[in-house]
Structure formats: structure tokens, C-alpha cells
Amino acid sequence: MNNELIAKGYRLYTGKNIDVYFNTHVCQHSGNCVRGNHAVFDLARKPWILADNASVEEVKRVIDSCPSGALQYNEK
Ligand code: SF4
């Protein structure tokens, strides 16, 4: 777990090979994540992030498209 991100208010969404972190206060609601991969990022679902629903490379690709830094990852 990345304690630095947790201290900044990020929540952890753990996956088998990659952990995803999200901070709702940083999010700019561009929608890049849900448009980028709806299997991983689905606001109608709880939890809304399922890191194992795509390959590690795909999760990283979508998170790299987040303009705000609200999404972060830690590859295991
Ligand atoms: S891509 Fe980033 S800024 Fe845009 S909605 Fe998703 S988390 Fe928020």
C-alpha cells in the first residue's frame, strides 16, 4: 500500500497485479476513465474500480489518460 497516497486522501482499489488509487477531491470529471475502459471503471458499480477486469497494461493506459492525477497506480 502506498501510504503517501492514502495520507493525501486516495482510496485503494486493490488488484492481483496492480493496485489502483483514486481521490474524488482531485477528480475533474473528464470521464476519460469510464470511456477508456468501462469494465474497469464503472460509476454505477460498487466498487466502481475493478483493477482485475483488464490487463495491467490496459489499466495503466487508461490511468495515464487521467488529466487530473486523481487516478494513480502501483504495479505489483
Ligand atoms: S479520468 Fe481522472 S479526472 Fe477524469 S473522471 Fe476519471 S478519475 Fe476523474
| Spans of all domains in the chain | 3-75
Q: Would you state the pLDDT for residue 13?
A: 98
Under CATH, which architecture does the 3-75 domain have? 2-Layer Sandwich (3.30)
Q: What pLDDT is stored for residue 44 in this prediction?
A: 97
pLDDT, the chain, mean: 97
In short, whether 29's Cβ falls inside 6 Å of ligand 1 is yes
- Give the position, in ligand 1's atom list, of the atom nearest the Cα of 22: 7
| List of residues 6+ apart from 16 with CB closer than 8 A | 51, 52, 76
User: Does the Cβ of 62 fall within 6 Å of ligand 1?
Assistant: no
pLDDT score of 65: 98
Instruction: Summarize the chain as % helix, strand, coil (round to 5).
Output: 30, 20, 50
Tell me what pLDDT residue 76 has. Answer: 94
**Rounded distance between C-alpha atoms, residue 49 and residue 39, angstroms:** 9
Sites in the chain below the pLDDT cut of 70: none
Measuring CA to CA, which residue among 38, 35, 28 is closest to residue 69?
28
Asked whether the whole model's pTM tops 0.75, one would answer yes
